[in-house]
Structure 1
Amino acid sequence: MTDLPLVLLHAFPFDARMWDPVRAPLAERVRLITPDQRGLGRSPLPETEREPSLADAAHDVVALLDRLGLDRVVLGGCSMGGYLALAVLRLAPERVGGLVLIDTTATADDPDAVLRRLAVAERVEAEGVSGWFAEDNLPKLLSEKTRTERPEIAETVRGLIDAQPPSGVAWAARAMRVRPDSVELLRGRDVPALVIVGEHDAITPLDAANTMVGALADATLVVLPEAGHLTPLEDPAGVVEAILEWYPKVCSNGAHA
């Protein structure tokens, strides 16, 4: 087992159970940590009057590393989890020995996306999450092949979304809409990175992955065929293989020193 732990941060609006398909094979080779983000899954939403910000969620991650006594980790995330990983990199770069960026982007939301996030937050607060959110988003979250040939994955996604607390979903939507652009952040950091993207990712497509790869000094790109935006659920074997093939490179670069 390698001596640099792997922390994986989940997508929106899910919890750490989205990593279940990759959990066992990864845990055989690395120390794996998969927290629920604030307000989602079993993680409470702190009472605060502060405006939602991924910077506060980044403090949560650093506090978790402190509690576990971990000076440095490989930090990974899918979609919103990738945004949060970049927020941690901005807050505490010395804690990040490597990045695994899965179906995510380093760019900020454009004005239309900002309005959509706010509309989601307001509707969730008014109507809850169950039912409509999954149905509205499944065509974007999963590839057509996944939806038509593997309906059990769509059911898993529905179940995970429907289980999330509306307050946490609304908080996360508002936090994502104000996140800063992180392309220059990546350009300024000499940290080894693995970028994974589904071939048919409709939310953060290959162009977004290529932007991150182009900004990073040491990046490996893996495109998983026939998968959409949720590659850990759609192609868990591909995600595991990509991570485990790349991981020794992180250690050989001295990232664990």
Structure 2
Amino acid sequence: MDLPLVLLHAFPFDARMWDPVRRSLAARLRLITPDQRGLGRTPLPETDREPSLDDAARDLLALLDRLELDQVVLGGCSMGGYVTMAMLRMAPERVGGLVLVDTRASVDAPEAARNRRALADRAEAEGVEGWLAETMLPNLLSGDAPGAVADTVRAQIASQPPAGVAWAARAMAVRPDSSGVLAEAGVPALVVVGERDSLTPPDDARAMAAALPESELVVVPGAGHLTPLEAPEAVSSAILNWWERI
């Protein structure tokens, strides 16, 4: 496949989370890893609209237009997967393939949505340094993740703008179910999940793979929710092997 590969990062991170994967893929593929709105170096636009991942998808469409890319293979980890599915709803003709990593098509349960809104309120009131990483870390990595990986996670989370964190949390809380969108995708898809992912577990990945008409599922042994950081070699190999087959 000659299309570029666009990979969208998880919450609450920025494009740096793909750096370990980028080192393996850059020589083989044209890889694009943008920061999403309000996170990393991308500012949060001023708007009166309620937070919605549709706006993040519009940001991506604008980026593809600036780069003069009519179609890409699009993928993402966790929140990046949610934005990928929003893009698939909005402009399916721009998506020539899917890479869905540690994400899911279903909506949040009511308690999970409430927790996201509470997190957003606290980020706005207190900032994010310290408490956010320590709150999230147990669910992001397996217990066997190297200390250096945990340090990277802490540092990247602590560096995020509180307003962007709050916006993204509220947008995820109201995202729609995307199972039907996946069923109508009609493009090759790779689904990757950590064996020990407690946030979007393997059963969620299997449900997405079953919904997609043309899909491949890879379960990464021993990894948690952030496989691109915890097991970048396995993620890179899964992408390259799938890419060669399609």
Normalising to structure 2: TM-score of the pair?
Answer: 0.99
SS at structure 2 position matched to 1:144 = coil
Amino acid of the structure 1 residue aligned with 2:236? V
Q: 1:235: which partner in 2?
A: 231
Distance in 2, Cα, partners of 1:249 & 1:152: 34
SS at structure 2 position matched to 1:113 = helix
In the alignment of these two chains, the number of paired residues is 246
SS at structure 1 position matched to 2:35 = coil
Q: 2:167: which partner in 1?
A: 171
The answer to whether 1:215 aligns with 2:211 is yes
Normalising to structure 1: TM-score of the pair?
Answer: 0.95
The answer to whether 1:4 aligns with 2:22 is no
Q: 1:201: which partner in 2?
A: 197
Q: Which runs of 5+ in 2 are unaligned?
A: none
Distance in 2, Cα, partners of 1:48 & 1:191: 34
Distance in 1, Cα, partners of 2:110 & 2:242: 36
Amino acid of the structure 1 residue aligned with 2:169? A
Q: 2:156: which partner in 1?
A: 160
Match of 1:192 among 188, 211, 224: 188
SS at structure 1 position matched to 2:16 = helix
Q: CA deviation at 1:4?
A: 0.8
Amino acid of the structure 2 residue aligned with 1:230? L
The answer to whether 1:43 aligns with 2:59 is no
> Percent of counterpart pairs with the same letter?
66
Summarize deviations over 1:174-224 as a string: whole Å, max 9, x none: 000110000111112211100000000010000100110110101100000
Q: CA deviation at 1:248?
A: 2.5
Runs of 4 or more above 4 Å deviation = none
Q: Which runs of 5+ in 1 are unaligned?
A: 251-257
Q: 1:139: which partner in 2?
A: 138
Q: CA deviation at 1:145?
A: 1.0
Amino acid of the structure 2 residue aligned with 1:171? W
SS at structure 2 position matched to 1:145 = coil
